[in-house]
Every structure is written in C-alpha cells, then in structure tokens.
Amino acid sequence: MSLQQTLKDLLEASLTPSPTVILFGLAFCLLAPILLHFLYSTATPYTTLPSVLLLGPPGAGKTALTTLFERGPLDLPLAKTHTSQVPSSIELSINSDDPSSASYKTNLDEAGATAKKFLLVDTPGHPKLRASSLAHLNSAEPTIKSSLVSDGGAKSKIKAVVFMVDAAALADGDALPSTAEYLYDVLLTLQKRFHSRNGSRAPASMPVLVAANKLDLFTALPAALVKSNLEAELGRIRAARSKGLLDSGVGQDDLAAGEEGDWLGGDGSEKFSFAQMMEFDVDVDVIGGSVTGDGPGAEKWWKWIGERV
Amino acid sequence: MLDTFEILTTSGVVLWSRTYAAVSPSVVNNFINDIFIEEKSSVAGAKNGASAAENPPYKHDQHTLRWTFEKELGIIFVAVYRSLLHISWIDQLVDNIRAIFVGLYRDELTKPNTTIVECLTFDQYFDQQLRELEQAGGKSDTRALKSEVLSEDTGDEPPSPPNNRGQQALRGVSPGSSPNVSRPGTPSASHLLVAKAGPGAKLSRRARKMQNTTSAPASSGDEGPARKAKAKPVKRGRKWDADGLADEDDGVQLDYSVPTLTSDSEAEPGARPGAVEEVDASTWGSQTKGKFVLRDLGDEVNSILADADAKKNAATKTDAPSGLVGTGLSAIGGLFRNVVGGKVLTKQDLDKAMKGMEEHLLKKNVAREAAIRLCEGVEKELVGVKTGSFESINARIQKAMEASLTKMLTPTSSLDLLREIDAITSPSATSLRKARPYVMSIVGVNGVGKSTNLSKICFFLLQNKYKVLIAAGDTFRSGAVEQLAVHVRNLKELTAREGGQVELYQKGYGKDAATVAKDAVAYAAQEGFNVVLIDTAGRRHNDQRLMSSLEKFAKFAQPDKILMVGEALVGTDSVAQARNFNAAFGSGRSLDGFIISKCDTVGDMVGTLVSIVHATNVPVLFVGVGQHYSDLRNFSVKWAVEKLLSSA
C-alpha cells in the first residue's frame, strides 16, 4: 500500500509545474541528445581515415604510384600495371612525427615511429570513367567512401588531390590537350565547390599536386616546363570554352547565372596561371618525379602528401 | 607457344604473370579499353563467369588474347599468344587457372584497402596445369580425361627430376633469354618443354656437381629468394618424408591445405607448395620423390577444380524453393529488406524491376536493341550486389543505369572543334605539317536537316572569325544549291560585323559530288580559307547504290571530320541508319560524330541519342535545339542522362 502511495506521490510531484520539475525537464531535454551523441561517437571507433585522391589521364602512372607506395615499405618489387577500370584505395601510413623527412620506403612498424594513416584512392583515367571520379569533388566537403570494396563504408574526407601527368608524353602535341582538359575539369570542379558553399563557412582549402611523372625518361620535360605548358594550354582551353557553343540543356535564362561558373581562375587576365587558383583556396604545386627507373624518385611527392594529410 | 599469361585486377594491378616472350603492355591495355571500357565487342564485356571459350578472342596486332573474368572479385585472366598459332587447350588453361587462383586466394582478394596478394607460390600450380594440358594435347575434353592423364603422367612416363628442377630454376632466369639448346632426354617433353628444358639441362649439370660435393640442404640454398618455406625446414621432414606415400591418396588432408595458404599457424607451412618444392630440391636425386611431388600437386589442383565444379553445379541447383514455410519467410524477409536495404540482389529480384526500366527506356524512344543491351549490362552489374541502407531496388537500378548511360554516352576523346581547326590551319613549327584548310562534311538521310545544321556550324565558325567555304555537294536535288546560297547570303549579313567571311562553292547540278568536293578543297587551299564545309545529298541508308558513292567521296575530299545528322524523331530505324552510314566510308574510315537535330521537338524522348551511340560507338557532338542559327549546342552527357531517366 505504501509503495503505491509513494508512486502516486512521485507521479503527482513530477506532474506539478514546480520549478524543480521544470528545471529537470529542461535539463533532460537539452542534455539527452548531447549525451547520446557522445555515447555514440565514442562507441564507434575512429575508422574514417582522410584520403588523397589520385587523378590523371590514363597511362600517367597512377596505379604504378599506388603500388610503389604500398610495396615500398615491404620491400616488394613493383607490380606491373594495366589500364584501370575501377577505383581502388590503399591504406598508407606516414610518419606523423616528422612528415617532411620521411621516406615512403621506411617501414614504420619496424621503425617504431608513430604513424598517421590515410587512404590513397587510385581512379581510372579513361575519359569514359572520369565522371565518377570528378563527382567526388563536387560537394563543398569532398568525401569518398572509405572502403570502395564493400558498400556502405564510412565516408572519408578528401584532403588533397594528386594529378598525375606523363611528362614524357607532354612533349609531343597530342597528349597535352587531353591532359590539360582533364586538369581543367578538375580545377573547375574545385572552383565551383568554392562557390557552392552553404552558409558563411568557406570550404576547406584543397591542395592540388601536379605530379610530373616519368622524369627518368630522356624525352621528359622538366617540372617547370610541364607547369608552363599546362598553364598555357589551360588558358587556351579557357578561351576556347568561352567562345565555344553552349552545352545542351543550358537555356537562355541560365546564361546570366552560369556566367561566373565556367571561367577558370579569378581575374579576366589573358594568361592563365596556377596562382590564380589561390583565390578559390586551391593551391597548385607542380613537382617532378618518377615511379620507376633511376630518376628523381617519388620521395618529393610523398613529402608533399605527408605535409597535407 | 604461349607468350604471356597475366592475372590482373580491374583496378589495374597485375597480381601474377608469367612471360615467355615479351609482349608490349599496350596489347593488354588495348584489350581492356576495347572490351571492358568501351565495350566495342558485340558481347558486353563484364560477363561474369563465362568461360574463356564463350568469350570471343580479342585480336590485336599479331597477338590473340583469350580471357575470362571473375566479376565478384574483379579479376581478369588473360592469355596472350601469337595469332598464327593454334593452341587448342588455351581455353581450358585459362578456365582452370581461374578456378585454381580463385580457390586459393579468395580470402586475400577480398581484403579491403590493399593491392598486394601473396601469390609467389602460384608458379607451381601454373606449371602443373600447363604441363598437364600440353600433354593432353589436342584432346578436346581434357577435364574429363584428367585422372587418366594424371596416371599416365606419373606412372608410365615420370618426368625426370632434372626437367622438374629446370622449370623451377627457370623462374629465376629471364625466360626470353633461354635459348633452345640440346634436347635433353625428357620422355614427356612436348614443344614448350623443349624450350624450357634448355636451362634445365644446364642446371642439372651444375646441380649434379653440387650433389657430389655438398649435402642436399646446401643445394637447396641455391634455390633463390622465391622459396619462402625455407625458413622452416623442420616441417618438411615431418610431413613429407615420413608418410609421404600414404599422403598421396589422402584427398582429405590435401584438401585442407587449400585454405591454410593464407593463415600462419605453426603446423601449416608444411602444406604449402613452397615446402613441396623444397623437398623436391633436397631429395630430388630419388626418382620416387620427384614423382611423388608432382602427383601431389596434381591432386591438390584436381581437388580445387572439382570444388569449383561442384560449386558451379550447386549454384545452378539451389534455385529450388525449400518448402512452403521457407519461401514465405524469405518472401517477408525480402520485402522487409527491400525497404530497409542491405539486401543481396538476385536475378529474380532484378527481373521485374529491370522489365520496368526497359519499358521506361522504350518510352523514351530508345531502340529496343539498345534498351535490352543497357538493361542486361546493368543486371549483370547488379546481381550479387548488396543494396545500401534504406535503398530500394529501384533506386539502386536507377543509380546503376545512370552510371551505365553516362559511361556509354561519354566520348573517349572530347572534341574541341576550334582547337582542332587551329591545329590544322596554323600548325606549330615543330609539327612539320603544312597549313591547309580544315574539311568537314555532313551526311545523313533525306530531310534530317543536313543543310540547316551545316549553316548552324558555319554561323558558329563565323562568330569565331574563320574564313569559311561552303561546298554545295548536293548536285542532285532541285533547289539544294539555291538553298545553300540563301543560307550563305543570310550568314554574310549576320556576321559581316563580326569579321567572319563565307563563300559558296558550287558547280551546278548533275556533277559528281566527290569531284566537286575535291575541287572545293583545292580552291579553298588556294584562296586561304580556314574551313571547308561540304554538304552532301541526302540518301536512304539501305540503298546500296547511293551509299557506295560515299566511299569515293571520302577518298576524294579527305575530310577531317565526317559528321552524320540524325533526327531525334526517328525511332528504331536510327540504329540501322547509324550502322550503315558508319560502314559506308570504306574500311579505313568511319564517322567522327553525330549531330542530333530536332531535339526541341521531342521533349524528354531523346532515346535516339542512346540508340545511335549504342550502334556505332561514335560520340554525339552537337544537338540542334531550335530553328535559329544560334540553336546549336554542345552535347552534354549530364543533360541527356537526366532527360532519359526523368519519369515525368
């Protein structure tokens, strides 16, 4: 009987609009979601690694670089590669104590250094398959499924973009336009991302590395020349696109809105340079290197990636 | 014989390869591009589980490629050999290697975020298969005869250990450098074995000397870095030397060695093929031991192949429902999963939804042929895929279809017309080309809008300050030349202010169109025109007489671009139109692109785009969206895909 009485009292007390009850109720309403959030965020382990997206035309050496970085610490020979059809990601770790001096060849498990892990996402470079790679960069906070193998993997944030080019192929005329066209699309996507921000918060800056590969070959252009050639070609594409036909589906009404969209780089200057992309928080570096042969190697690229993840 | 055999993933990494003669990597790259990415062959590329015999061989240069594809794991098995040779057992080899490789390394292959698969020991299995199939020779059904072959192999004609040894050593030596030296007395040798036994004979001499001077383990030290199990010499003693002959019939124990390849516990290294090799190396002087090793590997391979066969049979049989309650439960579960997601799609699930998708595409004016191909491709892609959380089957199909359409419509190389014209008319000093006018010609069926689209392109070029010559190649239809003259007059008036120049080149009616075109190009070169646009007479695509003149036309005028105008209104016939026109220019020439006219008249039903690209693999470059000179647009894939999938 007494139990019932106490229960009844309690119920009554909780339903009377007294200050304590209101206070409790408010506190509960406010704190419960926060508590739940903490509960869940600690329960799920930190599995989403940052990722670095590897883009570039086919045959530039993207997959080769991927295998080089993966096999480097294990002292395995470089795998042969062919044209990719699907993206793949590999988990890499970099010395977080001193990213600038690290080499991709050191086995961090053996060295005992603290490792920072990230994913390197290799994408197919074939023009028919580019659309899906570019789609990753579209949103203000570019993400990518951390494990491409299984569906429903957690999203991983893209920290940097590495754009591989074949410096030896750029020397003759045919490869340059197609390479530059892809780079143009990449940079334009990143630029649009800057415009598409929602709210006042600017999207995180997106560093882009143009990795001039195959410098071990005799015919390869040095990094500086790769840079100037690409800049010139990008400028030309920019001019051609502004003069070219409109895309289908673009009506006359959209013209005004789309005005700013397709002009790569900020000012209306005649020449394009990568420095113009700074305005959109896209920081472009051109570094030479080589995956195979006894050229300059890939250490510089590794360092660049290490500083940015 | 075989030039190279490669096992590679769809992400482009070669997992394992064996090269007998160097083959340029471009051969395999082209194969991937043509079969898998551009899907040029009539059979859709990503056909899961089809045996190598069903997949059409891919020919490139002097090489023929036989291949098979394991979709679930994304692995391609490809054998490259000279087209001159006829190797009857090559399909069997590719299929068997696939079964063995998948059987052995399935666990490693499904690991996320890595491209490394430890398969150094796969050499053993490959050699065994190659030997076996070569011995089986021209027999068509080697699989059925396998046990017989095997008993022959080990009983009547035991391959002598030097030969075996030589093959192992070969792995270290570059295969291309092995010359065909004196034929050793290996009884079981066929063509390939002769070549391989060359270094074998040499090595056996060295090994014999070594056996005289040193003990057996020392000679195994000569083996090279590939011998992984060397670090555990204790194990081999226990397993192979003690009860070796008992083991060879013990199928169960051998079977269990298959999954152990990936694990690392203490007892297992003995079962690894690496250990088998080592036993061979240390005791190879004894005939019985050499025989035993070979037999054992054969058994293991056979058990793997049998497993794969059994699985395949089981897979075909499990379709039968397991009782009324079982089906009811699974149906409810299926419904639930359909809403919540996380359902593994089967063919039955997809069938109905795919039917709906096909209907939808047909409604959008996609030719049935193209719609079926698209749906089949999507279905193949989706079978066995798990839907995401809260993703219905239809949403998944929609997504897959979008990707599939995008891939199909996206051109392999994008066209930048202004750039191409610049490259031709004012070539860079280093390219050693002479400046000449850029020639474009336009073909098509009657009344699709050839002249209209030609003048639209002309307007665009004039706006960019080019000097354009329009050649009246329609010398047949009354009024065609006058029509062009009117266009030219209008364009002149419209663009005089912007600095473009346009002229008409005409020779009246009745002349040979090809000759007129040729003269026009010569005239343009002389007068310094930048671009020549050649109009042609409309022709019915299935009229052989009219179509045959196009070949001569292409030869005479040498156009840089041949564009075909197709109208968006046409339905199923678009496939035949595109095919016939694409084939009309002779063997060395095909269409460079399509202009789809009258897109404004069909609304969402832009299926013709898909039909013609499906038929020819030639990209759509421009679409006509209105009646004015300025109503020409670059083709945007995104726009087309949106229209095709919109369900209004």
Angle at B374 between CA B369 and CA B378, to 5 degrees: 150
pLDDT digits (tens, 9 = 90+) for B428-484: 766 677 888 999 999 999 888 899 999 999 998 988 888 999 999 888 888 889 999
Facing residue for A150 by CB, picked from B8, B112, B625: B112
Q: What pLDDT is recorded for position A143?
A: 59
Three-state DSSP class for residue B250 = coil
Instruction: Please report which helix (H) or strand (E) contains residue B128, including its range.
Output: helix B122-136
pLDDT digits (tens, 9 = 90+) for B483-536: 999 999 999 888 877 777 899 998 888 888 889 999 999 999 999 899 999 999
Contact A244 B416 (CB under 8 A): yes
Where does the pLDDT of residue B164 fall: very low under 50, low under 70, confident under 90, or very high at 90 and above?
very low
Residue B185 predicted with pLDDT over 60: no
CA B247, CA B241: separation in Å to the nearest integer?
Answer: 10
Cα nearest neighbour of B11 on chain A:
A84
Residue B158 predicted with pLDDT over 50: no
Structure tokens at B563: 């564009």
d(CA A42, nearest CA chain B) in Å: 22
CATH code of domain A48-307 = 3.40.50.300
d(CA B383, nearest CA chain A) in Å: 14
Query: Could you say which DSSP state residue B13 is in?
Result: B
d(CA B508, nearest CA chain A) in Å: 33
Q: What pLDDT is recorded for position B84?
A: 80
Q: Is B61 left (phi over 0), alpha (psi -120 to 50) or beta?
A: left
**The residue to which tokens 């005289």 are assigned:** B212
| Residue A169 identity | A
d(CA A190, nearest CA chain B) in Å: 18
Note the Cα B86 to chain centre separation in Å.
Answer: 22
Q: What are phi and psi of B175, to 5 degrees?
A: -70, -35
pTM above 0.90, yes or no: no
Residues of A in contact with B10 (CB under 8 A): 84-86
Facing residue for B13 by CB, picked from A81, A127, A148: A81
Contact B38 A244 (CB under 8 A): no
Q: Are B337 and B291 in contact (CB under 8 A)?
A: no
Range with top average pLDDT, B25-39, B62-76, B274-288, B444-458: B444-458
CA A305, CA B6: separation in Å to the nearest integer?
Answer: 32
Three-state DSSP class for residue B556 = helix
pLDDT digits (tens, 9 = 90+) for B190-215: 444 334 434 444 444 554 445 444 44
Residue B547 predicted with pLDDT over 80: yes
CB-based contact (8 Å) between B78 and chain A?
no
Residue A269 vs residues A272, A276, B108, B425, B532: alpha-carbon distances, Å: 7, 10, 54, 26, 33
State the best of B13, B65, B75 to mutate against chain A, taking most chain A CBs within 10 Å.
Answer: B13
Identify the structural domains of chain B with CATH numbers, from first to last.
2-145+157-170 (3.30.450.60), 320-409 (1.20.120.140), 417-636 (3.40.50.300)
Contact A71 B417 (CB under 8 A): no
Q: What pLDDT is recorded for position B159?
A: 42
**The residue to which tokens 């051969």 are assigned:** B27
Q: Percentage of chain B with pLDDT > 70?
A: 66
Q: Are B601 and B569 in contact (CB under 8 A)?
A: yes
- Give the bridge partners for A166, in sequence order: A213
Residues 8-37 of B with CB under 8 A from A: 8-15, 17, 25, 28-29, 32-33, 36-37
Stretch among B104-113, B233-242, B358-367, B488-497 having the lowest mean pLDDT: B233-242
Q: What pLDDT is recorded for position B439?
A: 92
- Stretch(es) of chain A classified as CATH 3.40.50.300: 48-307
Q: What pLDDT is recorded for position B20?
A: 83
Facing residue for A244 by CB, picked from B10, B38, B418: B418
pLDDT digits (tens, 9 = 90+) for B50-81: 666 677 778 777 888 888 887 777 888 888 88
CB-based contact (8 Å) between B636 and chain A?
yes
**The residue to which tokens 């019932």 are assigned:** A4
CA B37, CA B46: separation in Å to the nearest integer?
Answer: 9
Q: What pLDDT is recorded for position B419?
A: 81
CB-based contact (8 Å) between B632 and chain A?
yes
CA B133, CA B128: separation in Å to the nearest integer?
Answer: 9
By the 10 Å C-beta count (0-12 exposed, 13-18 middle, 19+ buried), A117 is classed as: middle
> Does this complex have an ipTM over 0.90?
no
Facing residue for A177 by CB, picked from B28, B406, B419: B419
Q: Are B153 and B135 in contact (CB under 8 A)?
A: yes
| Residue scoring higher pLDDT (A174 or B219) | A174
B593-597 β-sheet, strand order: B501-505, B467-472, B531-535, B438-444, B561-567, B593-597, B620-624, B632-634
Q: Are B578 and B612 in contact (CB under 8 A)?
A: yes
Residue B577 vs residues B446, B542, B543, B566, B584: alpha-carbon distances, Å: 11, 8, 11, 8, 11
pLDDT tens for chain A, 309 residues long, are 678 899 998 888 888 888 888 898 899 999 998 888 887 766 555 556 778 888 888 888 888 888 888 877 776 777 788 888 888 888 887 776 665 566 677 666 666 666 777 888 888 888 888 888 887 776 655 656 544 433 334 566 788 888 988 888 887 767 888 888 888 888 888 887 777 665 556 667 788 888 888 888 888 888 888 888 888 888 888 887 777 777 766 654 444 444 445 677 766 667 788 888 777 778 888 888 888 777 677 778 888 888 877
Q: Are strands B620-624 and B632-634 parallel, antiparallel or unpaired?
A: antiparallel
d(CA B296, nearest CA chain A) in Å: 30
CB-based contact (8 Å) between B418 and chain A?
yes
Query: Could you say which DSSP state residue B531 is in?
Result: E
CB-based contact (8 Å) between B108 and chain A?
no
CA B497, CA B463: separation in Å to the nearest integer?
Answer: 10
Contact B417 A177 (CB under 8 A): no
CA B564, CA B566: separation in Å to the nearest integer?
Answer: 6
Q: Are A87 and A125 in contact (CB under 8 A)?
A: no
Residues of B in contact with A248 (CB under 8 A): 599, 623, 625, 633-636, 639-640
Structure tokens at B509: 């009616």
Q: What are phi and psi of A122, to 5 degrees?
A: -90, 130
CA A203, CA A193: separation in Å to the nearest integer?
Answer: 8
- Give the bridge partners for A212, in sequence order: A165, A288
Angle between the N-to-C axes of helices B273-283 and B122-136, in degrees from 0 to 180, rounded to the nearest 10: 70
